[in-house]
Amino acid sequence: MSGQDRPRPVVLGQNQYGKAETRVVRVTRDGEVHRLKDLSVSVALSGDMDAVHLSGSNAHVLPTDTMKNTVFAFAKEHGIASAEQFGVRLARHFTDSQEAIHRARIGIEQYDWERLTDAEGSGLPHSFVRKGQETRTARVEYDGGRCEVVSGLKDLVVMNTTDSEFWGFARDRYTTLAETRDRVLATEVNARWRHAWSTDEDPLPDWEASYGAVRAALLEAFAGTHSLSLQQTLYAMGARVLETRDEIEEIRLSLPNKHHFLADLEAFGLENANEVYFAADRPYGLIEATVLREGGSPRIPTEPTQG
C-alpha cells in the first residue's frame, strides 16, 4: 500500500455534553401573594473530555443527572431573580467546581405569566395566565338555511399555585400516586362553544364582546374554584359560561393536566416546602367534557385525543 493509499489518522474534534431542557418552576410565597418563574434550562459543558470519547473513562464526566439536580437545588437555595442571573450562577458553578470543565453554556427559555385579576381589577394572589396566550378559533357550518357557529380558543395556559387537592381516588395494585391536599393545578384550556344564533331572524350576537366575555368567564371560574379534581374545575368553567352568557348553548372543554411534581431535594439536605417543581411534559392526564343547557343535545363533535 503506497503512502497516498493509506487512510489518514482520525482525531476527536470539538465536543460538548449536557442536560437539555430541564423545566423548573419556582414559586416564591410571600404570604398569600405568590410570584412565579418558569424556565427551561439547557446545560452544555466542554473541556478535557478526550478520555471518555477515546477510552470510555468517565473520570472527568459529571453526570447530566447532576446538572438537572443542580438546576433544582439552585432554584431553591438562590431563587430565580432573572434568567440571566440564574444562568451566570450555573455557568460559574460548573466551570469553577469541575477542573476538567473549561466552558459551560447555559441556554434558558423563560415562559412569562401574568397575574389574573378579579372583577374589580385587583390582582389575585396565586392565579396566573401565561403570556402569549391563546389562539382564537371559529367554525361555521351553513346548510343553505341555518348557520351553526362554534367559537373557541386553544392553548390558553393557566395555573393555580394552591387551592387544588387530589385525594380519595380509587386504587388498585398498580396505584402509587400519593394523595395531596395542596398541589399546583395547571392546564392548557382548549374550548369550543356553540352559539344559539342560527338565522337572521335571531338577534345577531356581538361576536367580539361574546368572545371576550366567555374567555373572562373561563378564567374567573378557573381562578375562583377550590379544586378537588380537574374534572370539577372543568365543570365549573363550563357552567360559568352558560350561566353568564345567554347566547351560548353548549361548551366543549379539553383540559390536559400539566403535571407539576415536587422536586426531591432531600439528597442535598434541602427541604422543599411546595416551592420547586418539575414541570412534566408527558404523559399527561386529559380531561374532556361537554357542558350544556338542560334538555339540549350536544352537537359539538369530539376531537381526537391530543398527543
Residue 218 lies in a domain: yes
Model confidence band, residue 6 (pLDDT cutoffs 50, 70, 90): confident
φ, ψ at 25 (rounded to 5°): -115, 120
The answer to whether the CB of 90 falls within 8 A of the CB of 39 is: no
> Which domain, by its residues, includes 36?
14-110
Model confidence band, residue 307 (pLDDT cutoffs 50, 70, 90): very low
CATH number reported for the structural domain that contains residue 59 in this entry: 3.30.1130.10
Burial of 160 (0-12, 13-18, 19+ CB in 10 A): buried
Q: What confidence tens digit (pLDDT) does each residue in 13-28 have?
A: 999 999 999 999 999 9
Domain count along the chain:
2
Q: Which of 141, 135, 138, 134 is nearest to 151 (CA)?
A: 138
- Average pLDDT, stretch 102-120? 93
Pick the catalytic residue from 37, 68, 258, 259.
Answer: 259
Residue 298 lies in a domain: no
Residue 299 lies in a domain: no
- Average pLDDT, stretch 289-305? 90
Residue 196 lies in a domain: yes
- Average pLDDT, stretch 142-163? 95
Same domain, 245 and 169: yes
Pick the catalytic residue from 64, 95, 117, 290.
Answer: 64
Is 259 one of the catalytic residues? yes
Same domain, 141 and 84: no
Model confidence band, residue 133 (pLDDT cutoffs 50, 70, 90): confident
Same domain, 100 and 133: no
Same domain, 134 and 29: no
Count CB-CB contacts under 10 A for residue 300: 19
Place of cell 398498580: 174
Which of the listed residues 110, 143, 164 is the one where a domain comes to its end? 110
Same domain, 252 and 193: yes
Model confidence band, residue 69 (pLDDT cutoffs 50, 70, 90): very high
Q: Is the pTM of this model over 0.85?
A: yes
CA–CA distances in Å: residue 34 to residues 114, 127, 141, 189, 221? 11, 9, 44, 22, 19
The answer to whether the CB of 163 falls within 8 A of the CB of 227 is: yes
Is 19 one of the catalytic residues? yes
φ, ψ at 89 (rounded to 5°): -60, -45
Looking at residue 98, its pLDDT comes to 95
| Residue 266 DSSP symbol | G
Residue 117 lies in a domain: no
Is 64 one of the catalytic residues? yes
Beta-strand ranges (E) seen in the chain are 17-30, 33-47, 101-110, 113-117, 123-130, 135-142, 147-160, 185-195, 248-257, 260-262, 276-279, 285-292
Cα 128 from Cα 160, distance rounded (Å): 7
CATH number reported for the structural domain that contains residue 204 in this entry: 3.10.270.10
**Stronger pLDDT, 71 or 133, i.e. the higher one:** 71
